[in-house]
Amino acid sequence: MTIEDLQKELELSQFLFQLSPIGILLASEKGEILKVNSFFLSLFGLSVDSSKISIYDPIFQNSNLANYFEICLQEKKPICREISFEINHQEIYAELLFIPLIEKEITIQCILIDLTKKKESEKKIQNIYSYFNKLLSGLSPVATLREDYSIKFVNEPFQKELLKEQKEVLNKNILEVLPLNSKDKKNFLRNLENSTHIRVDNCEFKIQNKIYGYSIFRFDSDIGIILKNITETRGLKKKIEELYAQLMKLQESERQKIARDLHDSVGQTILAAKLNLTAYWLDPLKSEEKFQYALNLIDKTSQELREIYTNIYPSVLKELGLESAIRSLIKVMFGDKYKVKFTYESQAILSEEQSLGIYRIIQEISSNIAKHSQADSIEISIAQKGKTIFLKVIDNGKGFNLNKIQTNRGFGLNNMKIRVEDMGGSLHISSGLGKGTKILIEVPIEP
């Protein structure tokens, strides 16, 4: 390559450097700008013929250019940031990249990509999206108000749900047309006032026997209101709270039962064993029989402990599997007082969690039968069809009023229903007074 060719190539690179659509700057480690193109200068409102400047000049202060320059210099690795700064009352957005160039002396190359138009377009799209999202997110009653709280627009659900017979509501004050009690009206007015500087969410008021949740937001010069009937949700929340309280009560009751069992049986038996062993230790010749008696007491304690922790977690389930665990449960729960037919037709390998869930469900059903049904014949079957486990329990007991039990369901049945739903299954109960009870449960096998 000739000198003339090199000169042309240098001129071309200088030409591309100056006309590049991205800002490029080269600075010494002291912050002196060694080289800068016109696009970089124009981003900061500087002309090409500006006097020599430094990276620390006030013109770059709002962009934090100097701070990122120093970080790059200290860490000696590239620094990439998205920055924004104001020049001549215009907000500029840019992607900033500092690259350390380490030769004899450290120089820092800065590349600046203008993102302003992109950000402005994104803002416009976001504003349009937010506007329509606010209008559509309510799905139910929606109203818009003017600054003086007069009604500008109400949709049909708002009219039917809250205003009912009031036909002419436009231009009227929202506080005058909504039938709110004094407390709710005061809170509603306060939230309308607060909405001037924040979006108001998760508020509610009551009209007759219905509870409405509402949100208030501002857009342009209007006030938007979205309402939702949360009466049923509040009822469910109350029911959940009641169930939780029952669960805590049951948990405490179980703890107290375990404590009593340990104190009254295991604790007393261990104490008796200790006394007998002490007597033997003091006089082995005269108290030989006390040693054997103490051993018998220890065996009894071991059995009692086994019964306690089996009730807490059935070890037979882990050791021998679900079928054997259920057979053991049936023997303990029903003994010889009931005629029980149990069939198990499944080769599925269930997870420990699923096995325990099915075991607990059968335990709950068996407990209900033993306590309430007055049955003497019971059929329990577990079968597999494809990827589903089918559990069926039938008894010939006194049955119960299904409609009544569904409206006032006992905690045991609720607990059973929750267990089934947690496993992704379904529960069906059929019963009637004097007709016995039939329970069908379907549970998908976990992959």
pLDDT tens-digit readout, 406-429: 544 455 677 788 888 888 899 999
DSSP E strands, 140-221: 142-145, 151-154, 200-207, 210-219
Q: Phi then psi for 381, rounded to 5 degrees?
A: -140, 145
Residue 378 pLDDT: 93
CA-CA-CA-CA dihedral for 173, 177, 178, 184, to nearest 10: 60
Low-confidence stretches of the chain (pLDDT < 70) are: 1-20, 48-51, 104, 129, 132-139, 165-166, 244, 247, 250-255, 257-267, 286, 303-315, 404-412
Number of Cβ within a 10 Å radius of residue 345: 11
Q: Indicate the domain borders of the chain.
A: 3-120, 137-229, 234-311, 322-444
Upper half-sphere CA count for residue 380 (Cβ side, 13 Å): 21
The class level of CATH for 322-444 reads alpha beta
Percentages helix, strand, coil for the chain, rounded to the nearest 5?
50, 25, 25
Q: Which fold has domain 3-120?
A: Beta-Lactamase (3.30.450)
- Helical ranges in 228-267 per DSSP H: 231-261
**Cα–Cα distance, 177 to 124 (Å, whole number):** 36
Q: Read off the tokens for 382.
A: 């577990």
Predicted confidence at residue 163, as pLDDT, reads: 76
The answer to whether residues 192 and 149 touch, using CB atoms and an 8 Å cutoff, is yes
Give the model's pLDDT for residue 29.
87
Record: fold of 137-229: Beta-Lactamase (3.30.450)
pLDDT per residue over 173-198, tens digit each? 998 888 889 999 999 999 999 888 88
Strands of 339-345's sheet in order across: 339-345, 377-385, 388-395, 437-444, 426-431
Closest Cα partner for 23 from 93, 71, 74, 89? Answer: 93
> Counting every residue, how long is the chain?
447
pTM for the complete prediction?
Answer: 0.40
pLDDT of residue 287: 72
Q: What is the pLDDT of residue 19?
A: 53
Number of H helices, E strands in the chain: 15, 15
8 A C-beta contact, residue 179 and residue 164:
no
Q: Find, among 248, 76, 217, 60, the residue nearest to 144 by Cα.
A: 217
What is the rounded CA–CA span in Å between residue 156 and residue 167? 11
DSSP-assigned letter for residue 271: H
Name the helix (H) or strand (E) containing 173. none
In this prediction, residue 15 carries a pLDDT of 47
CB atoms within 10 A of CB 294: 21
Q: How far is CA 249 from the centre of its chain?
A: 26
Same CATH topology for 3-120 and 322-444: the answer is no
Per-residue pLDDT tens over the stretch 39-52 = 888 888 887 565 57
Instruction: Report the run of H or E that residue 137 belongs to, with start and end.
Output: none
CA distance 346 to 352: 16
Rounded Cα distance between 432 and 256, Å, is: 36
